[in-house]
Amino acid sequence: MLRVGMIGADSSHTELYGRLMNLPDGPFYGRAQVVKLWGADPAEARQKAEVCRIPEVVSDPADVLDGVDLVSINNRYGDDHVAPARLALAAGKPTFVDKPFTNSLAEAKALARLAAEHNAPLMSCSSLRYAAEVQTLLSEAQGWGSRNLVQTVGPAAGAFPNPRASHPFFYGVHAVEMLHTLIGPGAASLTTHRTQACDVVVIDYADGRRGVVNLLRQGPAVYHAAVYAADGWGHAAITDHGGYYAATLAHILDMAETGQTACPIEYAVEIIAILDAITRSAEQGGVRIAVEGAL
């Protein structure tokens, strides 16, 4: 059975993933167990450890690493991911970093290089990549020929009082992750058209594909995707908000067991590069920005 160490207790994902592994009715009970947890707030960490039946709460992130087969970094905000990820990767541990991977393209590239240097499997994604509706749409689109246009919609920011929740990477990652899943890698450049209501991002690919991402500041917290291809089209609203955590965790555990992942870290780096370019284009009045995703 995989022994998992978790770093970060401030996100609901800590409890969501912990329950999936540690409670008897969880789908991964017996395959993996969270055995250690660290959180910046010790009381919060102890409370979540009790709910998820995590046997040990440690006093330092480095203490999570000993005797575990997988490190899961679940801090809520991207700027809290880098330091513990460096610890885990330098120790050669298979590592999952929750969304967003980082709040900086330079840091994303640096973590990917560190993982390669230490031969440490590394994965990071928004769980929307593995939403059942997204995966079904992707499967259907395989038979439609060239995917010429993919559009995705999601919230621009999270509904949290902490101002860090308004960072464009924090919730913008979900819509960009869906786009990347459905259209694939290779974003070349983009423009961001910003209004008070939304950011509308138009992404161009070197082979002529185009992606459109709508990040909403006003209106419902909706996740939606549409694919328009040479020989067909389809769309999907994402409603199974519980199922995609289990689907994501299945891929995380596969990575820890095999050392391989269907979601290579280059994908996460490109997604951060897209988010970085979205932000810079908006701040510069909608100018075209190159997507610098290559490691």
Domain assignment of residue 259, yes or no: no
Domain assignment of residue 155, yes or no: yes
Is residue 247's pLDDT more than 90?
Answer: yes
Domain boundary among 126, 157, 191: 126
Looking at the fold, whether 167 and 73 belong to one and the same domain comes out as no
List, for residues 165-201, the tens digit of each pLDDT value: 999 999 999 999 999 999 999 999 999 999 999 999 9
Work out the pLDDT band at 204, boundaries 50, 70, 90: very high
Count of structural domains, the chain: 2
**Average pLDDT in the 24-31 region?**
98
Q: For residue 33, which of 68, 63, 3, 67 has the smallest C-alpha distance?
A: 3
pTM: 0.97
CATH code of the domain covering residue 69: 3.40.50.720
**Average pLDDT in the 205-220 region?**
94
Looking at the fold, whether 134 and 239 belong to one and the same domain comes out as yes
Domain boundary among 111, 126, 141: 126
Looking at the fold, whether 74 and 215 belong to one and the same domain comes out as no
Is residue 242's pLDDT more than 90?
Answer: no
Looking at the fold, whether 87 and 117 belong to one and the same domain comes out as yes
List, for residues 253-289, the tens digit of each pLDDT value: 999 999 999 999 999 999 999 999 999 999 999 999 9
Domain assignment of residue 230, yes or no: yes
Radius of gyration for the alpha carbons in the chain, expressed in angstroms and rounded:
19
Looking at the fold, whether 237 and 99 belong to one and the same domain comes out as no
Is residue 293's pLDDT more than 90?
Answer: no
Q: Give the chain as a DSSP string.
A: -EEEEEE--SSHHHHHHHHHHHSTTSTTBTTEEEEEEE-SSHHHHHHHHHHHT-SEE-SSGGGGSTT-SEEEE--SSGGGTHHHHHHHHHTT--EEEPSSS-S-HHHHHHHHHHHHHTT--EEE--GGGG-HHHHHHHHHHTTS-SEEEEEEEEESS-S-SSGGGGSHHHHHHHHHHHHHHHH-S-EEEEEEEE-SSEEEEEEEETTS-EEEEEEESSS----EEEEEETTEEEEEE---TTHHHHHHHHHHHHHHHHS--SS-HHHHHHHHHHHHHHHHHHHTTS--EE-----
Domain assignment of residue 255, yes or no: no
Domain assignment of residue 77, yes or no: yes
Domain boundary among 126, 147, 172: 126
Residues whose CB is less than 8 angstroms from the CB of residue 168 and which lie 6 or more positions away in sequence, other chains included: 156, 157, 199, 215, 275, 278, 279
- Which residue range is the domain that position 83 belongs to? 2-126
Mean per-residue pLDDT of the chain = 97
Write down the pLDDT at residue 19.
98
Looking at the fold, whether 167 and 97 belong to one and the same domain comes out as no
Is residue 295's pLDDT more than 80?
Answer: no
List, for residues 96-132, the tens digit of each pLDDT value: 999 999 999 999 999 999 999 999 999 999 999 999 9
Contact 48, 39 (CB under 8 A): yes
Looking at the fold, whether 231 and 102 belong to one and the same domain comes out as no
